[in-house]
Structure 1
Amino acid sequence: MSRPSILDPLFRSLHSIKGVGPQLSALLTRFFGAPEGQEAIALDLLMHMPTGVVDRRRMEGIAGAVHNNIATLKLHIDRHQPPPRGRPNVPHRVFAHDETGEIQLVYFRAQGGWVEKLLPVGETRYVSGTIGFFNGEKQITHPDYVVEADKFEDMPLVEPVYPLTHGLSSRALIKLTRQVLDTLPQLPEWMPAERVAEFGWPTFHDAMFGSHVPDTPDDAQLWSKNRMRLAYDEYLAGQLALLIVRSQLVAPRGIARTFTGDITAAVTAALPYTLTEGQRLAVGDILHDLAAPERMSRLVQGDVGAGKTVVALMAMAAVAESGAQSAMMAPTELLAAQHYRSLAPICVKAGLGIELLTGKMPAGDRRAALERLRTGESHIAVGTHALFQSGVEFHNLGLTVVDEQHRFGVHQRLALSEKGSHADLLVMTATPIPRTLVLTHFGDMAVSILREKPRGRQPIDTAVTSISEYARVVQRLKARIDEGAQAFWVCPLVEESETLEVVAAEDRFAELKKVFGDQVVLIHGRMSAAAKQDAMDRFQRNEAKILVATTVIEVGVDVPNATIMIIEHAERFGLAQLHQLRGRVGRGSQRSACLLLYKEPLSETAQARLDTIKRTEDGFEIAEKDLELRGQGDVLGTRQSGMPGYHLAVPDVHRHLLEWAHEDARSALTLNPGLTGPDGEALRILLYLFRKDLAIPLLRAG
């Protein structure tokens, strides 16, 4: 199905709009982040929301105009005082009055006589701008607007303020947005009638107008009816798309599995500890899903160190009992190797065949491993996304386990499930994701939460110190290392640039080497996999005492003897990241410490983040706080994490609308799975508007 023609005016290139030349078009294409090789379109302008308004409605005369506030005045122009010859730094002053008082209008570097033309002596003009004082006299420097008395309605009394970029003026953006608004069609209503009645919201068309051309400042506020309506629409489109994709993944093409219980019993016996209550419940949830005829799609959330890997192992053992294989996918080779190392001894004891597949394996070993998976001799494959490349064949793939899901987008998820046409999906994340984000990111996934940490885990003492105390920190560290401790020292990505990131870590590495010599090793993203593994091995064998790293180690590195975590420039990290990093220690039986080093001055948000981390180890509390502090920023680390970026919805303000949008999307698809007829057409238009039309081809199969 092609895009409904009613939307054509919104999908035309900005280039085709009057007044947009090649230069402005290129600037806007960059500014709106249009996909490679495409130009920005009219719709981009509408989705670019004002962040505030300038209120020019104060018209209380010169006497009532307040310093530093914006006033709009009806002035009689009295005289001009141009700067003396040869003194270009003296401003051009225009003297004017109304019945309440006098004011000066000030222009710097106003050559060429245009000010005299703009403000002719003896005439009346409406002037709007910020009131200042100079030598006790009121003045407006470079007024924002000067209009003739009979053209007063041309001056916007409530003017939207947009985020801008270098080379793009507010005036130009407002003008373009107006032009696009004039072509905005009246679209069919996609919102259920009872919602429209319940909320009393305007139509999409009127909400767009009210947000971009507000009559009062309240019309453009985030909690106005206009913005609520638009946020709901954006959430509805997102939920609809997720549910369509999900119905493809979880359509009742699953297999109702039956279990004998012997392999899971063998695994339980081989475990060096007993499962926690949370782990037992999660395993119960999973077995229940596997036994049902629908495909499983479950998210296991557990804080760092809550024992998610063991839950996954129990699931994989149960699938092996039903005669099928499992694939466990980790985001990095380092992590895949670690999962393999922790699982292999237990699998061997329990009689489960397990393979590690990485890009760096010798060809012969790889061929043999692939053969064992193809014949079904091995039950479990552990690796990175390379597991799903074309050369890998499974005898009968029944379960895909994905670690750290938020690194994988919807497309990869579809690819995963293609390998096993009926494979169940289990996702593990150490990022405790608040309910709202589970909805936005995963649609309807069922969730199991592991709240408690395995027994024997020690609490972590967290302290916050300024980097100016560096010498003292190194001294303390030396004393602890002499007692046998091991430490992580994490450096941030400086300005999120690969090249600088290395410098930060390498500089710190060089500094620490002066004190600790060969006891320090370094890992960063630019090193070869072999060099990384080598450094990691030395640290794990306790030959090296300090591991200097960039955030490569954020996820899943397990060195029980390491009890000290030092995070440099902690103010640059997000809460979720700090929490993840801290969770790398406290894995053994000794007490652990985490030291957050910050550089002054701290912003309020950074201060609040560091206070939160210091106060609590509860990942869920941290995630909620993160959502609150970052607001629209994305909670799961850098932008690439695949979190949906919202244009109109601001999670802080509109979060409550998500549940409604979710319910409405669900009932729409239940009543009309193929989105046919006029109601379906309206929802398809919504999907195109919010560029979620990738989901539309999947409907046909529905």
Structure 2
Amino acid sequence: MSLSLTSELVSLPGIGPARARQLRQHGLFTVADVLWYLPYRYEDRSNPTPIGSLTVPDVAVTVVGEVCDVRERRARTRNLHLVEALVQDHTGAIPVVWFNQPYVAKSLKPGTRLWLYGTVRLAKSGWGLQLVSPEWEVEEDKEPLHLGRVVPVYRRLGPLGGRFLRSLAARILQRVDIGPSLLDEVLPPGYPPLAQAFARVHFPELTGGQDEATRLWQELARRTSPFHRRLALEEFAGLALVLEKTRAARERIPAPVCQVSDRERAWARAMLPFPLTAAQKRAVAEIVADLQKPTPMARLLQGDVGSGKTVVAALACLVVLASGYQVAFLAPTEVLAQQHFATLSRLFSPTPFPVLVLTGSMFAAEKAEVREVLAQGQPALVVGTHALLEETVAFPRLGMAVVDEQHRFGTSQRQKLVEKGASPHLLVMTATPIPRSLALSLYGDLEVSVLDELPPGRKPVRTVIRERDALPRLLDFIRREVAEGGRVYWVFPVIEESEALSLKALKAHERALKRLLPEIPCGTVHGRMAAADRDRVMRAFAAGEVSVLFATTVIEVGVDVPEASLMVIENPERFGLAQLHQLRGRVGRGRRRSFCVLLLGENVSPEARKRLEFFAATNDGFAVAEEDFRLRGPGEFTGLRQWGRPEFRAASFFVHQQELELARRLVRTLFSQGRQQELERGLLLPPSLGQEIPPA
């Protein structure tokens, strides 16, 4: 019986309603679902070890032998049902035991030749070795499935173990019809057809010489085999299709066309407090070119902490305002919104354009006044928090939406702001350096401008690693910094699984440190505080009323305090590198020489210490981002789930960067040839990714 990719599993011989229900509970509905449930590792069970050479316990081995004897008994102490067998080959014999598997005794008879794979243990008696609960397969003429080959290992799905899942995948591959796809037609050499990729990902064959077999085995372990890469390409093509359709839809929409004249250039020169860096000039040119087009700009402005993104965004806002449109500037916190409001008010003071602020904590009358100004449709720049997204806020002539710290907002929030205008331009900004491969996926529907240099005069932050016994010297250093006008952040990790306990520990630690620093005014902020209370403490720190701020990572995106010259991070091994870099960016914003102290916890692993040493040795945010991405993956790195991006089955943003870029090129080429619908019909995608593709 031939199966199609959409065949339900209940149509497969041997899969009854109860078994089909178990599979559905774990997301396996169709033949394609099983094909995309990939092995997470492989075991080489192809080379049997002679029984006589087994001398060391606690190693996994494959043996081939003949059953000499099979017996059943019950263990008196633990009420276990034991099946015991003796298996021999031409070199010797070994006892084998299975626990609570009575069917084994019914299946094995003396004289049966078996393949076995399991762990050799010391017998309970202390005399000799035995195989404990090994997987087994009767040696027959047909090709072995579970032994005698490279065997796929699957993650268990409730009661469905690896042996069942392996058999299910094999039965499907024998019956399913996976025809040639459009992507197969345009692939460069080195990529197998999709049907072969699925067959060999589930059941690899180590063919050829020893060197070729070794290479393929290493590729399987790293998920870089041609078969893994082909499946990754299929998934990335699905993502590229989503992004290309988004881009194509945007290019069909008319947008406000902005003009630049000598008047705007004069205002820009009056606004600038210092000369632009080469990177800032390049980014401004790219953004202004987009604003002059009749289709909506969608651009990411990416730059390290302190690279001057706000000034670039202000010049973009000037172009839009001077063309008669309004600008909405969305910030993730009230403190950051107020900071942007102060900075932009100062920058725009030489121009005729008003800068407004709208946050949730404002009085109702103040909010109403801002809404009334906006409703008149006059050119104005309004900075705000989520309050900008409320239905009562109207923008009759919204020309551009600016979203700061983009990773703090979900896609739906970004879209909600954009929909307040007819088809406004969009500029999103992030201070989190993002590796190129991840930017292509997270922001694939956006053009990217990068600020990769700091303004002159910014001093790099010196980062040091210290053990707990350095605390007295650290406290002395804090006293000197505060006496000289500096301010200090002291950051504690919060473990999400036990946030209440973490905050209790934070408060206890804070009380202990305050006793050690009685002469210094201290404050505390954390995520459980009311936003108004948190903002009040942050403002006190900015004003110098508080000199040491104890905090969780809520200060990762926060107020700009030029006097802050020391960042102390407790238990830095619990943070990702990108997050450490964001925290370090809170200091070094003024003229003072600044420091970041990584205060280690107890029993830090050698791997964690090596990671922190890498961080301490560089201030390059992009180098930190690449390393963090390599170590932690994209989900941890960016909070990928809030983007609505799927979880891939084969593809890895880090491992398969070549396939990601190839998929983008192939999809764009097929789009330009008018083959979009053909591509869309032909892609074989996991369910989570297939649902991402919107209708044409």
Give the shorter-chain TM-score range.
0.7 to 0.9
Cα distance change, pair 176–149 in 1 and its aligned pair in 2 (3 A): closer
Partner SS for 1:629: helix
Cα distance change, pair 150–164 in 1 and its aligned pair in 2 (3 A): same
- Determine if the alignment matches structure 1 residue 437 to structure 2 residue 435: no
- Determine if the alignment matches structure 1 residue 59 to structure 2 residue 48: yes
- 186, 202, 207: which one aligns with 2:197: 207
- Determine if the alignment matches structure 1 residue 530 to structure 2 residue 532: yes
Q: Which moved more, 1:404-413 or 1:148-157?
A: 148-157
- Determine if the alignment matches structure 1 residue 363 to structure 2 residue 361: no
- 1:250-265 pair list within 5 angstroms: 250-251=251-252, 253-263=254-264, 265=266
Q: Corresponding residue for 1:570?
A: 572
Cα distance change, pair 519–402 in 1 and its aligned pair in 2 (3 A): same
Q: Corresponding residue for 1:191?
A: 183
1:486–1:545: 8 Å Cα contact kept in structure 2?
Answer: yes
Q: Which moved more, 1:84-93 or 1:635-644?
A: 84-93
Q: Structure 1 residue 261: deviation in Å? A: 4.1
Please give the TM-score of this superposition, normalised by the length of structure 2. 0.87
Q: Corresponding residue for 1:666?
A: 668
Partners of 2:503 and 2:643 in 1: CA distance? 21
Q: Which moved more, 1:143-152 or 1:612-621?
A: 143-152
Q: CA RMSD in A?
A: 3.4
Cα distance change, pair 556–185 in 1 and its aligned pair in 2 (3 A): farther
Q: Corresponding residue for 2:308?
A: 307
1:438–1:445: 8 Å Cα contact kept in structure 2?
Answer: no
Partners of 1:264 and 1:103 in 2: CA distance? 87
Amino acid at match of 1:70: V
Cα distance change, pair 390–138 in 1 and its aligned pair in 2 (3 A): same
Deviations 1:195-245 (A, max 9, x none): 16x234122x33223222334484855122211110000111101101111
Q: Corresponding residue for 2:209?
A: none
Deviations 1:381-429 (A, max 9, x none): 1123442332221131111111122334444444343222231111211
Amino acid at match of 1:76: V
Q: Corresponding residue for 1:144?
A: 135
- 1:602-617 pair list within 5 angstroms: 602-617=604-619
**How many residues align structurally?**
676
Amino acid at match of 1:456: G
- Determine if the alignment matches structure 1 residue 599 to structure 2 residue 563: no
Q: Corresponding residue for 1:521?
A: 523
Amino acid at match of 1:207: A
Deviations 1:485-532 (A, max 9, x none): 211111122145543443343333233233335722111112111101
Please give the TM-score of this superposition, normalised by the length of structure 1. 0.87
Q: Which moved more, 1:313-322 or 1:59-68?
A: 59-68
2:271–2:349: 8 Å Cα contact kept in structure 1?
Answer: no
Q: Which moved more, 1:427-436 or 1:124-133?
A: 124-133
Deviations 1:642-692 (A, max 9, x none): 56532211233311111110001111112227x34xx24534x54675534
Cα distance change, pair 11–322 in 1 and its aligned pair in 2 (3 A): farther
- 1:34-73 pair list within 5 angstroms: 43-63=32-52, 67=56, 68-73=59-64
Partners of 1:514 and 1:21 in 2: CA distance? 64
Deviations 1:18-41 (A, max 9, x none): 375699468636xxxxxxxxx977
Partners of 1:123 and 1:199 in 2: CA distance? 43
Partner SS for 2:568: strand
Partner SS for 2:26: helix
- 1:303-452 pair list within 5 angstroms: 303-452=304-453
Cα distance change, pair 185–460 in 1 and its aligned pair in 2 (3 A): same
- Determine if the alignment matches structure 1 residue 101 to structure 2 residue 92: yes
Q: Which moved more, 1:241-250 or 1:498-507?
A: 498-507
Partner SS for 2:332: coil
Partner SS for 1:566: strand
- 1:529-678 pair list within 5 angstroms: 529-631=531-633, 633-636=635-638, 639-640=641-642, 644-672=646-674, 675-676=676-677
Q: Corresponding residue for 1:32?
A: none
- 16, 21, 30: which one aligns with 1:18: 16
Cα distance change, pair 46–488 in 1 and its aligned pair in 2 (3 A): farther
Amino acid at match of 1:441: L
Amino acid at match of 2:278: E
1:105–1:139: 8 Å Cα contact kept in structure 2?
Answer: yes
Partner SS for 2:96: strand
1:245–1:695: 8 Å Cα contact kept in structure 2?
Answer: no
Deviations 1:564-585 (A, max 9, x none): 1011121111111111110110
Structure 1 residue runs of 5 or longer lacking an equivalent are: 30-38
Amino acid at match of 1:573: F
Partners of 1:233 and 1:527 in 2: CA distance? 46
1:267–1:314: 8 Å Cα contact kept in structure 2?
Answer: yes
Q: Corresponding residue for 2:210?
A: none
Cα distance change, pair 78–8 in 1 and its aligned pair in 2 (3 A): closer
Q: Corresponding residue for 1:458?
A: 459
Cα distance change, pair 665–149 in 1 and its aligned pair in 2 (3 A): closer
1:254–1:293: 8 Å Cα contact kept in structure 2?
Answer: yes
Q: Corresponding residue for 1:245?
A: 246
1:190–1:682: 8 Å Cα contact kept in structure 2?
Answer: no
Q: Which moved more, 1:134-143 or 1:273-282?
A: 134-143
Amino acid at match of 1:669: F
Amino acid at match of 1:602: V
Amino acid at match of 2:534: K
Q: Structure 1 residue 167: deviation in Å? A: 5.8
Partners of 2:180 and 2:55 in 1: CA distance? 46
Amino acid at match of 1:550: T
Partners of 2:9 and 2:102 in 1: CA distance? 43
Partner SS for 2:438: helix
Partner SS for 1:305: coil
Q: Structure 1 residue 333: deviation in Å? A: 2.8
Amino acid at match of 2:48: M
Cα distance change, pair 500–639 in 1 and its aligned pair in 2 (3 A): farther
Partner SS for 2:42: strand
Deviations 1:333-387 (A, max 9, x none): 3322221122123223433211111222211111110111121345111123442
Cα distance change, pair 419–181 in 1 and its aligned pair in 2 (3 A): farther
Q: Which moved more, 1:348-357 or 1:300-309?
A: 348-357
Structure 2 residue runs of 5 or longer lacking an equivalent are: 207-212
2:400–2:426: 8 Å Cα contact kept in structure 1?
Answer: yes
Partner SS for 2:181: coil
1:330–1:403: 8 Å Cα contact kept in structure 2?
Answer: yes
Q: Which moved more, 1:617-626 or 1:629-638?
A: 629-638
1:13–1:42: 8 Å Cα contact kept in structure 2?
Answer: no
Partner SS for 2:604: coil
- Percentage of pairs with the same residue: 37
Partners of 1:123 and 1:666 in 2: CA distance? 58
Cα distance change, pair 659–66 in 1 and its aligned pair in 2 (3 A): farther
Partners of 1:576 and 1:296 in 2: CA distance? 28
Q: Corresponding residue for 1:33?
A: none
Cα distance change, pair 397–561 in 1 and its aligned pair in 2 (3 A): same
Partners of 1:47 and 1:688 in 2: CA distance? 6
Partners of 1:330 and 1:84 in 2: CA distance? 67
Partner SS for 1:9: coil
Partners of 2:693 and 2:102 in 1: CA distance? 59
Partner SS for 2:689: coil
Q: Structure 1 residue 141: deviation in Å? A: 1.5
Partners of 2:525 and 2:592 in 1: CA distance? 25
Partners of 2:634 and 2:282 in 1: CA distance? 34
1:509–1:520: 8 Å Cα contact kept in structure 2?
Answer: no
Q: Corresponding residue for 2:237?
A: 236
